[in-house]
Amino acid sequence: MTRKRRDPRAELLALTVSEQPRRRIARGAAPAPGGRRRRDPRAERAAAAVLVGARRRIDWSGAALALPGQQGRPETAAEAGPSVRIIDDPAFLVLVVLDQPDGRMTDHDRQVIAAGRILADAGGGAVAALSAGIDGESDLGAAGIDRAMKVDFEPFAGYCPERRAALVLAAVDSLKPRHVLFAESASGGADLARRVAAATGERLFPGVQALTATQAGRRARGGSSELGRAPSRLMSIAPDAVPPLDDVRHEARPIPAPDPAFPTSPGIRSARLLETDPDRLSLAEADFILSAGNGLTDWEAFAELAEALGATRGGSRVVCDAGHLPRDRQIGASGTLVTARCYFALGIAGAPQHLQGITEVKHVIAVNTDLHAEMIKRADLAIVADAQAVMPALIRHARERRRERGAHG
């Protein structure tokens, strides 16, 4: 008796697309030379994409492939373009007050908008932005804004916090938002949030570091405990508390701004940033740190580069032991744990104790002659070269940029 041999490949091809486990043949894919259709991973991923709230998710269960909108010719994300999410009749509004130092939307602003989306999407709401205006509504829409209210924060030179507070209070009175979010920033957002809270008599929950639709939390008692509560009406969002949105575009529909009652004689007519010596800042508070290691020998160029970049100087334990920098400039497990936004390491190999000190740093730039140094592996941007050769070039470039900015006002 002759037994027929199984052909697993033919059996798999005989299954429908929805029946094939995980490995699916994209609809419309061109057949291979042998007659078998080739897989198109990009088309499969685009077909499995579904919108959950404000974020795009990949559903490999096959449910997305069965939707009528996904049938027919497969389209990649680049062909279809980002879809615009429109909320015509929101259940409520979340007002986001953009910080916008120098008139530009920052990463922190985008994070505050994302926090607003968490609160709005949980109950069918929409996010409205109080903005000084940017290049176009497309940027606000890409950040997650449904309604855009453009105001003129400072018609004259300088910073007028009373005028900003009056504009926010007028927007709150006009829109009646469920939540009002600010950026917990030193450039004005933190001060503005407290002024609005004092004017309304409502309690502000400042420095939110973790946010869900039902819970807002932050560290308390020097970081030894957590403080949590239901999201309040007035909240300020700490930097990097919520990741910014991507892959979803919102409408950013313009809405009229109210006519506020400005104070006749403001207490603060203008404010400006004062230049300070970066080396007078503690390493724990510094935002930009230029750090030296055992591979650095030109200490005059190191000080000159720190001055040109406006960076706070720090160093490894070996450098401080040798007396090149004072002990309070030591970074690492036995020194200071830093949380700078940018850490520029010159000639630092990257001992485990030193890497422990920069765990919370956002961006690391490293210059070292050893391609396999641990600091090079940790770095977001690495330059494999001698620090003594790199520093003069950086000093010239920094000073040229400073002269260009001065020439353009």
Per-residue pLDDT of the chain (409 residues; tens, 9 = 90+): 567 777 777 776 666 544 555 444 444 444 545 555 666 776 776 666 655 544 556 666 555 444 444 433 434 444 445 578 899 999 999 999 998 877 788 889 999 999 999 999 999 999 999 988 654 456 888 889 999 998 876 654 456 788 888 899 999 999 999 999 999 988 788 999 999 999 999 999 999 999 999 999 998 776 677 899 999 999 999 988 998 887 778 988 999 988 877 766 667 766 666 777 888 889 998 989 999 999 999 999 999 999 999 999 999 999 999 999 999 999 999 999 998 989 999 999 999 999 999 998 989 999 999 999 999 999 999 999 999 999 999 999 999 988 886 655 4
User: What local confidence, expressed as pLDDT, does residue 341 receive?
Assistant: 87
CATH 3.40.440.10 fits 279-407, yes or no: no
Q: How many residues does the chain have?
A: 409
Where does CATH 3.40.50.620 sit in the chain? 93-254
Nearest to 321 by CA among 364, 288, 292: 292
Quote the CA–CA distance of 193 and 236 in Å, as a whole number.
7
Is residue 172 within 8 Å of residue 87, measured between CB atoms? Answer: no
Q: Is 281 exposed, middle or buried (0-12, 13-18, 19+ CB in 10 A)?
A: middle
pLDDT value, residue 61: 57
The two structure tokens encoding residue 197: 């809270």
Give me the amino acid identity at 297. T
Query: What DSSP line would sit under 323-337, residue for residue?
Result: TSS-GGGBBSTTSB-
Residue ranges matching CATH 3.40.50.1220 in the chain? 279-407
> Which residue is associated with the tokens 């030894």?
224
- How far is residue 397's CA from residue 276's CA, in Å, rounded to a whole number? 22
* Both tokens assigned to 273: 């940033």
DSSP 376-388: HHH-SEEEES-HH
Spell out where 215-356 has E strands: 216-220, 225-229, 234-237, 249-250, 253-254, 288-292, 312-315, 342-346
Domain 93-254 CATH (choose: 3.10.20.30, 3.40.50.150, 3.40.50.300, 3.40.50.620)? 3.40.50.620
pLDDT digits (tens, 9 = 90+) for 57-82: 666 655 544 444 443 343 444 444 55
pTM to 2 decimal places: 0.60
Q: Residue 17 corresponds to which amino acid?
A: V
